[in-house]
Structure 1
């Protein structure tokens, strides 16, 4: 029997198909994931377990519309399922075997992302932090970001590991709560600049319910995360869209090419929301709350305590006091993380851990501590100069076990 045309050597990506069986198999795969529009998503969602709304499908199709674009911004209002929309896009990429996928989000949302993608879309995920990074490296893997699953990491960790992220040709990078990086174009925003640099050659999917709050420059900042040439340089954007009234119609037209936004008022036909009424109530701290504020403030100002990482001490003192001014309940979670930090330090000390181990431990829990405090911050631009943070992380700190135990007891009293 003569060799058919598909039996000859066929180049498919980086794999060489040399048999008739392989050719038929790959032809079937291409037909299964091909097509466009809703049919394209339908084939990719064969194993998914999720109830979809029309606006979510439209948003996902918008994100998948142009293979040549460098990314899009999905800016649906709160509660309309932006995570589901991103999951649809990730599911399509996975079905097309484009599986270098990265999700960057606040640390408090990492587990939620992993759960949503696994349970609703049957996608494999791997949450990468300092501990899992170290565990993977022990297996001989030089760059733990190379994995056969969707990588999920926090914004702070992505900024810290920008060089490792840069090494990988990501098919898609999803950035949740992207408004926190809206000042990434500024020199002072080190985390934003490092994430932008690490992902500059990758297609990006930005998610935020608040793309614009105070200034049109926020839209410019978000656009630079996708492509720093979308609006040209900053002076050009100012002169065209801000100064002397600005060309708002022109800006709206430009945004339509990469920004998609659905309002709650547009989906009332098939989604019923609980009506919420805002009531303003005056608040005055009780005597106990005032005492707690003074006691915790005094604890934070104490020199040489172990509860705060040395390299982030001044920033964290400022932000913990801000949370403390909100309410005792708001600060309880932060104090628990600080206490857990001390418990881990004590555990490492009991194992006769080396100073290098303690530095790694700092890195392991800094993400959780920082993101707990920064969770309500709208911008990640306020941070220590790089030189000070790097210097602090390399210091070898001696542990006084009695002082450590005293701090643990004090924090437990506050909690």
Structure 2
């Protein structure tokens, strides 16, 4: 059933009344997960201010970045923010995410990675399959190839797995990263990567630039 604006507002007001340390309780109640304190700390860090434009979660591999991201996703969903896009580099990682969602979480999702899936989730009176009352999960390639349809959606939250691939976004020749940034628009951007710096400090510069290109000076000044 589609969530009405009234129900979204009612849920959001209920969440606002909870003490800060209890704001993730509804997320736990709607899932089957065992979360560690450092993961709560990471999710709380990402949600610490309604005015920030995004965050980078860069725990090492195996430390549960996906669960940290799902805490944020579920929290936003329970607050009534239903335009959520999860972008994953490849099909293998996508399968891991959907398996985790099926096993531990109850939030609805739609997978869009092919024309067949696109047709299954669209109709003549609903031509844009990116518009769903569910989390939309797609790949870097599919999102970039369908940029015009994807950026029509006013996304509330965009989450990028293996976001280190986006670090060259400030460079002129990186067309895919720039397309994904245009799709993300003014949404809250959550970047997940175990390697925020692969070659040099400019990798981190690119991740911050992807979230907000006005936050730092030009690349030459930053590097200096």
Q: Shared topology, TM-score over 0.5?
A: yes
Cα pair distance change 1:29/1:85, threshold 3 Å: closer
Match of 2:18 in 1: 35
Show the 5 A alignment for 1:188-203. 188-203=173-188
Q: Which runs of 5+ in 1 are unaligned?
A: 1-13, 240-415
Show the 5 A alignment for 1:101-250. 101-107=84-90, 108-130=92-114, 131-239=116-224
| Partner SS for 2:158 | strand
Deviant stretches of 4+, over 2 Å: 25-38, 134-140
Cα pair distance change 1:33/1:49, threshold 3 Å: farther
Q: Normalized per residue, which structure has more helix? A: 1
8 A contact 2:88–2:94 mirrored in 1: yes
Query: 1:219 and 1:69 mapped to 2: Cα distance?
Result: 17
Once the two structures are TM-superposed, the CA of residue 38 in structure 1 deviates from its matched residue by 2.7
Q: Which has the higher contact order (CA 8 A, sep 6+)?
A: 2
Query: 1:38 and 1:236 mapped to 2: Cα distance?
Result: 40
- Aligned pair count reads 219
Q: Which has the larger radius of gyration?
A: 1
Q: Normalized per residue, which structure has more strand? A: 2
Once the two structures are TM-superposed, the CA of residue 225 in structure 1 deviates from its matched residue by 1.1
8 A contact 1:106–1:155 mirrored in 2: yes
Q: Which runs of 5+ in 2 are unaligned?
A: none
TM-score between both structures, scaled by the size of structure 2 = 0.90
Query: 2:10 and 2:85 mapped to 1: Cα distance?
Result: 28
Match of 2:50 in 1: 67
8 A contact 2:143–2:150 mirrored in 1: yes
Cα pair distance change 1:45/1:229, threshold 3 Å: same
Query: 1:106 and 1:80 mapped to 2: Cα distance?
Result: 19
Match of 1:5 in 2: none
Match of 2:73 in 1: 90
TM-score between both structures, scaled by the size of structure 1 = 0.50
Deviates more, 1:51-60 or 1:124-133: 124-133
Once the two structures are TM-superposed, the CA of residue 140 in structure 1 deviates from its matched residue by 3.3
Once the two structures are TM-superposed, the CA of residue 136 in structure 1 deviates from its matched residue by 2.8
